[in-house]
Amino acid sequence: MTQSNGEKSAAELLKQFSEDATTLIRKEVELAKAELTEKGRQAGKGAGMFGGAGLFGVGAFGALTTFLILVLAEAMDAWLAALIVTVLWGGVAAVLAIQGKQKVEEAAPLQPEQTVDTVKEDVQWAKRQAASAGR
């Protein structure tokens, strides 16, 4: 219904607002999907490159290990040189594992706390708006 002076009624305005809000939300979701799809492709390529780097890194680490054993084997039995290098790498692995565990514990809980809080605030705001509009 349109009022006599050409203005829309409150019901028409509310209906239009609802339609516009729905359209806006749909468009935002579509944009987010498109962005995430593109970012996912880029991340996939990057992950593949990290995989290749890891493979070559393991090869380099193996060569370094062999080098250290051969150098130490000049001064002692080869088995003792291999044992020393193994204990060295074991110590490095233990330190990294302890530090990694601490970092993971610092990151817990793995949920977007700030986003959860703001969504809760938005819900409360919407409830207050709905309650005041119903009066």
pLDDT at 4: 54
Give, rounded to a whole angstrom, the gap between the first and last alpha carbons of the chain. 22
Asked whether residue 117 is domain-assigned, the answer is no
pLDDT computed for residue 48 by the predictor: 94
Residue pair 33/27 in contact by the 8 Å Cβ criterion: no
Q: What is the pLDDT of residues 103-130, one digit of tens each?
A: 988 877 767 677 778 878 878 887 787 7
Residue 135 domain-assigned (yes or no): no
**Parent domain of 46:** 10-109
Residue 48 lies in a domain: yes
Q: Which amino acid is at 14?
A: L
Say what the pLDDT of residue 9 is. 81
Task: Provide CB contacts within 8 A for 80, sequence distance 6+.
Answer: 72
Other C-beta atoms lying within 10 Å of the C-beta of residue 124: 10
Structure tokens at 17: 């607002």
Query: Is residue 121 included in any domain, yes or no?
Result: no
Shortest CA distance to 133 belongs to which of 25, 11, 22? 11
Tens of pLDDT along 1-20?
A: 445 556 778 888 888 888 88
In this structure, is residue 131 part of a structural domain?
Answer: no
Task: Assess whether pLDDT exceeds 60 at residue 47.
Answer: yes
Whether the predicted pLDDT of 132 surpasses 80: no
In tens, the pLDDT along 51-107 reads 999 999 999 999 999 999 999 999 999 999 999 999 999 999 999 999 999 998 887
d(CA 19, CA 76) in angstroms, rounded, equals 82
Q: Report the number of distinct structural domains present in the chain.
A: 1
In Å, what is the CA distance from 90 to each residue of 61, 73, 97? 14, 19, 10
What is the residue whose two structure tokens read 């370094």? 64
Rounded to an integer, what distance in angstroms lies between the CA atom of residue 41 and that of residue 94? Answer: 35
